[in-house]
Amino acid sequence: MIDPVTLAIMKGRLEQIADEMDATLFRSAFNPIIAEAHDASHGLYDAITGDTLVQGKFGLPIFVGVMAFAVKAVIDKAARDGGLADGDVYIFNDPYDGGTHLSDFRLVRPFFHAGEVFCYLASVGHWHDVGGNVPGNYNPVATECFQEGMLIPPVKLFERGILRHDIVDILLANSRLPGSLYGDLNGQINALDLGARRLGALLKEYGDATVAEALATLRDRASQRMRAHIAELPDGCVSAEDFLDNDGIVDEPLKIALDLTIEAENMVMDFSRSSPACLGPVNIARSTTIAACYVALKHVFGDVPANAGVLEPVDFIIPEESLLAVTAPKPVGGYTETILRLIDVLFQVIAKIAPNRSNGCAYGTINALSLAGHRSDGRRWVMFSFFGGGHGGHPNGDGLNHGNAPISTATIPPLEILEAAYPVMFTQWALRPNSGGDGKHRGGLGAIYEIELLEEQADVFLFGERGKFAPPGVAGGKPGAKNTFIFETETGQDTPPFVSKMVGITLARGQKVRLETPGGGGYGPPVERSQAARDRDVELGYVTGPTA
């Protein structure tokens, strides 16, 4: 049995490998969504099952959960094709086979030791543009995946260490920004190379038996810790439901419902009451649903080690006809909005049985906004970004103001970077007063972003949520403010008919778009909020007007 000191060293060294892979890509990517926002992730995965062994701390946890399915897809593909060779690297973005949406490209590399696959190294990053009908690829009116971008199944990018330039040529030919794509691709390749070197050095220093035992022990401990936490919850079934505004095609709400059953140290997450697959792009694959639940459970039980052991005591019921388990060619481009709602319903369910472990819902949308056009010299530009909002109040205090979505540890791209890269100017970037839900502990504030176009003309696309259904509070807390989007026209100001989603907006030089993002839900009854806290809210301008 591995001793505690060696196990702690192994844990730190293995996590450092994934963290260094993250850093390598963040520092070399051409695309601000990876370089600045850290919309990427790296990890180590089991040689037989593809299960998560180790994840980096600085990328997107949702990617790490989904990548277990992606690695398994590569394992199955290699078995059908006759096996793997040292130096092989697979690339793909298939959202139905271990993916999320078409913007997220995965590179999977088997790591050979003593002639056998010891584990897999994997890298995933959100590329700036991968074709499709909308620059930046968040197409809110897509009705099939072919309108969202190019779809690449698992294929070899490297074969026995030799780069396949034909694959690279296909990728470059299908992007509006081939230079950005090429830079991001090479950044991911280099991250895998570094990971292989670091893992090789670790095995040389400690031996494969010690490292393998450490990985197995860490997984067992995650499973044991999760079972212990579940056992502390009361047995029985508890339910919650929340809604998406619409699917971008039909202006009707879509239900995300969870019936959670606890029996001893086991948990069943049943999503049978959720809406069926829809026409528009807020569908997700089954693997994405499970990965979102993994992230949600890690929020609730933060001390559990981050590996596949987290899900060992959890069973899932996800009907095949659900919008949470779709297959090709159903559109899935807006997967971020749906997985955020999955996290919200788990927060609401846990609040009913263990309020000390839950918090008010966060703002619940990344507000994917794309502005695109041509510069005066004819060069194409595409600004794609996501934006922040308020997090929920929690048992120990108020929610975070202007945070990023709880699916990730990514950052919001700085306005200085966006203004330097694109012909835009932010005329406002501020906290949004009165947007946090009231409660014993107030929800965090959303934000106001106002963007002015400096070029002659641009097309604008928005893919958001929470325009109709505000982020709920828990344990008696009140909801945060809803999402608002405003754009200028020749005759004044307008808002999207579907509230949070729209294509076909055209801006002229000097015109602006404005996002007012949701605040977080409150925690606990508002009557329990101290007068000192309310005075501070007014003093800081968090609460103004009649509310104050």
pLDDT tens figures, 67-111: 999 999 999 999 999 999 999 999 999 999 888 999 999 999 999
Assign 515 to helix, strand or coil. Answer: strand
CA torsion 519-524-525-527 (nearest 10°) is -90
Residue 61: pLDDT band (50, 70, 90) is: confident
Residue 503: pLDDT band (50, 70, 90) is: very high
Tokens 């369910």, residue located: 349
Residue 221: pLDDT band (50, 70, 90) is: very high
Residue 56: per-residue pLDDT:
83
Residue 456 has pLDDT above 90, yes or no: yes
Residue 407: pLDDT band (50, 70, 90) is: confident
On whether the CB atoms of residues 285 and 28 are closer than 8 A, the answer is no
Q: Is the pTM of this model over 0.75?
A: yes
Q: Kindly give the interhelix angle for 286-300 and 61-80, rounded to the nearest 10 degrees.
A: 140
Residue 412: per-residue pLDDT:
87
d(CA 458, CA 166): 33
Q: What average pLDDT score do residues 252-277 get?
A: 98
Question: What is the torsional sign of CA 496, 497, 500, 505?
Answer: negative
* Pair type for strands 266-270 and 314-317: parallel
Q: What average pLDDT score do residues 296-316 get?
A: 93
DSSP 8-state secondary structure symbol assigned to residue 145? G
Q: What average pLDDT score do residues 441-458 get?
A: 98
Assign 261 to helix, strand or coil. Answer: strand
Distances (CA, A) of 342 to 256, 360, 480: 7, 14, 18
On whether the CB atoms of residues 177 and 382 are closer than 8 A, the answer is yes
d(CA 425, CA 404): 22
Closest CA to 53 of 231, 195, 256, 251: 195
- H helical segments located in 303-399: 335-353
- H helical segments located in 354-453: 415-421
On whether the CB atoms of residues 235 and 206 are closer than 8 A, the answer is no
Count of C-beta atoms within a 10 Å radius of residue 486 = 14
Domain boundaries, the chain: 4-221, 359-548
Portion of the chain with pLDDT greater than 90, in percent: 93
Closest CA to 181 of 139, 150, 138: 150
Instruction: List the 254-263 sheet strands across, edge first.
Output: 236-244, 254-263, 266-270, 314-317
Q: Structure tokens of 442? A: 């107030």
Tokens 């192994």, residue located: 10
Closest CA to 521 of 392, 352, 405, 406: 392
Residue 411: per-residue pLDDT:
82
Burial of residue 85 (number of CB atoms within 10 Å: 0-12, 13-18, 19+)? middle
Residue 98: per-residue pLDDT:
87
Number of alpha helices (DSSP H) and beta strands (DSSP E) in the chain: 10, 20
Residue 236: per-residue pLDDT:
97
On average, the pLDDT of the chain sits at 96
d(CA 199, CA 210): 13
Residue 442: per-residue pLDDT:
98
Tokens 């909801």, residue located: 479
Closest CA to 467 of 365, 378, 386, 326: 365
Distance of CA 420 to the CA centre of its chain: 25
Residue 546: per-residue pLDDT:
79
Tokens 């969870």, residue located: 258
Count of C-beta atoms within a 10 Å radius of residue 157 = 23
Residue 19: pLDDT band (50, 70, 90) is: very high
> Which of 48-57, 205-214, 283-292 shows the lowest per-residue confidence on average (mean pLDDT)?
48-57
d(CA 328, CA 106): 18
- Which residue type occupies 428? Q
d(CA 357, CA 355): 5
Residue 27: pLDDT band (50, 70, 90) is: very high
Residue 144 has pLDDT above 80, yes or no: yes
Residue 126, φ and ψ in degrees, nearest 5: -85, 105
Burial of residue 204 (number of CB atoms within 10 Å: 0-12, 13-18, 19+)? exposed
Q: What H or E segment, with its residue span, contains residue 15?
A: helix 4-28
Residue 531: pLDDT band (50, 70, 90) is: very high
